[in-house]
Structure 1
Amino acid sequence: MSSSMKQVLEAELQKRREQHLYRQRRVLQSPQGSEVRVDGQHCINFSSNDYLGLANHPRLAEAVEQSLATFGWGSGASHLINGHSELHHQLELVLARFTGRDRALLFSTGYMANLGAIAALVGKGDAVFEDRLNHASLLDGGLISGARFQRFQHNDLDDLARRLQKTDARRKLVVVDGVFSMDGDLAPLPELADLARTHDAWLMVDDAHGFGCLGANGAGTIEHFGLSQTDVPVMMGTLGKAMGCFGAFVAGSEALIETLIQRARPYIYTTAMPAAVAASTLASLQLLTEESWRREHLVSLVERFRRGAEDAGLPLMDSSTAIQPVVIGDSQVTLQVAAALESKGFLVGAIRPPTVPQGSARLRITLSAAHSEQQVDDLLLALTEACRPYREVSA
């Protein structure tokens, strides 16, 4: 006799609980910021992707309020029907200019941008090569594209070169994160661009965690390495992290953007984001240009945290970005350390498989320009104390 859906699903959920892999949502009761209220508790927030502290900036709220009088709230349709407002169009022009590219195209989310771009560029008879630690949206995009999908070892140029050498695919697309979301390290973009050029492949970079933070002007990882549109033909960036807003974009050549408009299904068949969201992003980009101190302060906080963590002997990964993972290893212990930190008033994400490989559960500490030096020092003290019992047992 077959089991009911309820029985099957409950058994699977219980297994996840026993493996300490069960995920639970928290209820945020305040705006994003360095201090938040979550589930009734006040916490210092080290788990947000609001890297520049812009998510609750008053100028973003003012921009939304002003746009409502002209454009209302709902966009009412997809971009290709009649939902593409003047504010959407202006934002695309500004993003293209800011990233040094011919054009940019807005998507409602980064996940949709990656699915749409990859599937529009490659299909049956083609090949897509992705770093093993790429974001899930990139991996899913490669899988649904219909192209032959291969994953190469993390930042391993030799492994990628061998795979490119062997393929006889019509089109070859290499896809990487600019900043890897769970490790915080950077892809070797100059070397990847050279390798792609040698093998007549196209390079696509998801710069979700670099855009706004890295580069002389905050244009991201590609700017950080001094690369051009020719070096990296496809750039994806998100607007809900360092920009403090919502949505995403793909930027590149005229031909690329027109191809996505014609073929990217998540773009064609999705209602456009509200024009007010575009207005807030325009305000955020202006702040990014005017207030370089935010990026400078973030860099100084990263350096301060790393010095303190290394002095305390904490197991840091090699990252120079706002993402600072402290690897614990065991999922249960990671949850216990995160809970100990929360009891001291610090909110830190406990990241476990399948988001990260087995045996590499970690605390994903994210720093923001909204943090003070004192908050970072207080976190280091609490983190050292919370980890001490488990480090003594393992020793």
Structure 2
Amino acid sequence: MPGQTGETHRGYQRPRLCYTNHAQYLIYARPFIESFEETPMLVAVLTYMGYGILTIFGYLRDFMREWKIEKCHIAREREEQKDFVPLYQDFENFYTRNLYMRIRDSWNRPICSVPGATFDLVERSSNDYNWTFEYPGRVVKDVINLGSYNYLGFAENTGACATAAGEVTVKFGVGMASTRQEMGNLDRHEELEKLVASFLGVESAMAFGMGFATNSMNIPALAGKGCLILSDELNHASLVLGARLSGSTIRVFKHNNMQSLERLLRDAIVHGQPRTHRPWKKILILVEGIYSMEGSIIRLPEVIALKKKYKAYLYLDEAHSIGALGPYGRGVVEYFGLDSKDVDVMMGTFTKSFGAAGGYIAGRKDLIDYLLTHSHSAIYATSMPLPVVEQIITSMKCIMGKDGTTIGRSRIQRLAENTVYFRRRLREMGFIIYGNNDSPVVPMMLYMPAKIGAFGREMLKRNIGVVVVGFPATPIIESRARFCISAAHTKEMLDRALDVISEVGDLLQLKYSRHKVLPSLDRPFDETTYEENKE
């Protein structure tokens, strides 16, 4: 039996292998390998020093602005409101004007094409240190796109999806001008929901026009005062907001740490509610399939085992995993070979793998019937536009093979192949990569604040578009570049991108890893790979 090997991260041990004893081995049908290499001590020290220097210079520049030595472009309170309580927190203001503005050009870049495997980017420049931008009217063509969540390549303006959406637009128009409960419920909406339920293998499903609101507006309908929500510390902001809006008691467990989760469950059962010690009305566990900043995959078999043991409910957010995991793209439940009935609330979005917009809740019919009358997102939100509905239906039928082709299956396989190849090559180059080997979200650690903007700019100079992420979206010393792999990427595109990443990595000295990985021979990734991995 393999032993546990691990790498520390944020003060606790994160195992690389999912099983450490016979009981856990029986839970998992395939190896579960995740990597979170510890930040090198020297890099951590230099990163803190970098932020310290930026902070000192920030206060110096604030002093110069106060004495009108340096011009300040940031919005100020009106003179008649100078005695009001500040609208923004002081540190948020300080961070924005002194740190964020230095690298603001790395975000909100306007593109002017389909966000496919490549895209066209509108050039812009700034003459006042990123406070304002000018647009000379030039376009950078054919930038390789490593930032969009276009996992299966359905964000496209040609093909069956685009044709179907175009025909529906001509026939029905774009706007619905009503909610589902009034005049905005069309037969295509109901067909979509039946298709989603069939795809996931559950009794019923319900579609919503916005992915973020699918979480933030439905969790309050499922939990309230007297309920306990156990939330992973790295859950998405929509899950966090939904939990807070519910009025439930919230307790946070360490990321993907089953010992931490079980400890909270045990304490909840033993002690009950604070002060009264009455039993909780309901215990709801909130987790994600793939965590979009870490690239990690939820340890779903263990979560389900704990949920059954302590009679809690499970809410699974599959925003990034639906379509991207599993032999048939049915998400993390299929990836582990589990029964969808073991997940009480299945949530996902149509914004990633399906190239559309909106989200869904799926599960038992009585759950969906309840949400129809209690969910704010169902009662008050305008219906999903029919062109978006048609895009989802067409792409989902393609994934399921109901269009009579194998295009969907081949895209799922190509995404899996691209993911394994891209992650392996980055590790061989010496970069620190977070997450699961099968996750198409690939975080590459940058750490130092100066390297956030530098990496994005240097990559763009070489016609590669990437997303860089820093505080407050990540811990202050764990800035990173986040690559999103797509089935639309060809091997030539990935090789070109990898060569550029290696070149920029050498230029900025980003190859921090102390674990040397020997290059391995490429081998075809075919449809039997999922089965082979079970051995």
Tell me the TM-score normalized by structure 1: 0.95
How far does residue 13 in structure 1 lie from its aligned partner after superposition? 4.7
Pick from 286, 291, 312 the counterpart of residue 397 of structure 2: 286
Contact 1:116-1:260 within 8 A present in 2 as well: no
- Pick the aligned partner of 2:151 from 45, 51, 64: 51
Aligned partner of 1:112 among 213, 234, 239 = 213
Matched, 1:376 2:494: yes
Written as runs of structure 1 = structure 2, the 5 A alignment for 1:229-308 is: 229-290=340-401, 291=407, 292-308=409-425
Q: Distance in 1 between matches of 2:511 and 2:174?
A: 55
Query: CA–CA distance in 2 between the matches of 1:119 and 1:101?
Result: 22
Question: How far apart in 2 are the matches of 1:367 and 1:17?
Answer: 33
- Which moves more between the two structures, 371-380 or 65-74? 65-74
* Structure 1 gap ranges (5+): none
Instruction: State the partner residue of 2:442.
Output: 324
Matches within 5 A, 1:83-98: 83-98=184-199
Match of 2:245 in 1: 144
Distance 1:78 1:65 in 2: 23
The answer for the alignment partner of 1:103 in structure 2 is: 204
Q: C-alpha separation between the residues in 2 aligned to 1:253 and 1:139? A: 24
**Quick one: which amino acid aligns to residue 368 of structure 1?**
S
Deviates more, 1:262-271 or 1:121-130: 262-271
Q: Which of the numbers 204, 207, 231 marks the counterpart of 2:318?
A: 207
Q: Partners of 1:222 and 1:338 in 2: how far apart?
A: 35
Question: Aligned pair 1:310/2:427, yes or no?
Answer: yes
* C-alpha contact (below 8 Å) 2:214/2:360 kept by paired residues: yes
Match of 1:32 among 102, 115, 118: 115
Q: Quick one: distance in 2 between partners of 1:90 and 1:149?
A: 36
User: 2 CA distance for matches of 1:36 and 1:194?
Assistant: 44
The AA in structure 2 aligned to 1:364 is R
Worse-superposed segment, 91-100 or 275-284: 275-284
Between structure 1 and structure 2, the one with the greater Rg is: 2
Q: Give the direction of change, closer, same or farther, for the CA distance of 1:232–1:390 in structure 2 (3 Å limit).
A: same
1:308-330 Cα shifts (integer Å, max 9, x gaps): 11221011113221111101112
TM-score, length basis structure 2: 0.71
Aligned to 2:181, the other structure's residue is in SS state helix
1:151-182 alpha-carbon deviations (Å, 9 max, x no partner): 11000111111111112221000010100011
- Code of the residue aligned with 2:140 in structure 1: it is Q
Shift in Å, 1:230: 2.8
Aligned mates of 1:10, 1:223 — CA distance in 2: 44
- The one-letter code of the counterpart of 1:16 is T
| Contact 2:213–2:377, Cα closer than 8 Å, also in 1 | yes
Task: Note closer, same or farther for the CA distance 1:366–1:162 as it changes in structure 2 (3 Å cut).
Answer: same
Secondary structure at 2:234's aligned position in 1?
Answer: coil
Residue type of the alignment partner of 1:226 = G
- Cα shift at 1:68: 3.2
- Provide closer, same or farther for how the CA distance between residues 8 and 85 of structure 1 changes in structure 2, counting only shifts above 3 A: closer
Distance (whole Å) between structure 1 residues aligned to residue 265 and residue 459 of structure 2: 45
- Number of equivalences: 395
Aligned equivalents of 1:260, 1:129: Cα separation in 2: 21
Question: Which residue in the other structure is 1:126 paired with?
Answer: 227
Give, as a single letter, the amino acid of the residue that structure 1 aligns with 2:419: V
For the residues of structure 2 that align with 1:71 and 1:80, how far apart are their CA atoms?
A: 19
- Paired with 2:325 and 2:498, the residues of 1 have a C-alpha distance of 24
- Partner secondary structure for residue 187 of structure 1: coil
Identity of aligned residues (%): 29
Preserved contact between residue 431 and residue 511 of structure 2 (Cα < 8 Å): no
Provide closer, same or farther for how the CA distance between residues 72 and 386 of structure 1 changes in structure 2, counting only shifts above 3 A. Answer: same
**1:337-359 Cα deviation digits (max 9, x unpaired):** 11111111100000112111221
- State the 1:272 CA deviation: 0.4
Structure 2 match to 1:160: 261
Contact 1:229 1:253 in 2 (8 A): no
C-alpha separation between the residues in 2 aligned to 1:217 and 1:311? 29
Secondary structure, counterpart of 2:231 in structure 1 = strand
Q: Call closer, same or farther: CA 1:71–1:2 in 2, change over 3 Å.
A: closer
Aligned to 1:358: 476
Kept in 1: contact 2:202–2:341 (CA 8 A): no
Matched, 1:18 2:102: no
* Deviation per residue, 1:283-333 (Å, 9 max, x gap): 111221232111111111112112211221011113221111101112321
CA, structure 1 residues 75+352, in 2 after alignment: closer, same or farther (shift >3 Å)?
A: same
Question: Shift of the alpha carbon at 1:77?
Answer: 0.5
Does the 8 A contact of 1:261 with 1:268 survive in 2? yes
In the TM superposition, residue 18 of structure 1 has moved relative to its aligned partner by 2.0
> How many Å separate the matches in 1 of 2:490 and 2:83?
53
RMSD between aligned alpha carbons? 2.2
Q: d(CA) in 2 for partners of 1:347 and 1:392?
A: 18
CA 1:123/1:359 → structure 2, altered by over 3 Å: closer, same or farther?
same
| CA displacement, residues 38-87 of structure 1 (integer Å, 9 cap, x when unaligned) | 12222111000011111114211211222235433211201111101110
Letter in 2 for 1:50: N
State the alpha-carbon separation in 2 of the partners of residues 229 and 147 from structure 1: 26
1:3 to 58, 62, 82: 82
**Larger relative CO (CA 8 A, sep 6+): 1 or 2?**
1
**Amino acid paired to 2:347:** M
Deviations 1:175-221 (A, max 9, x none): 10100011111000111011011111100110011111111211111
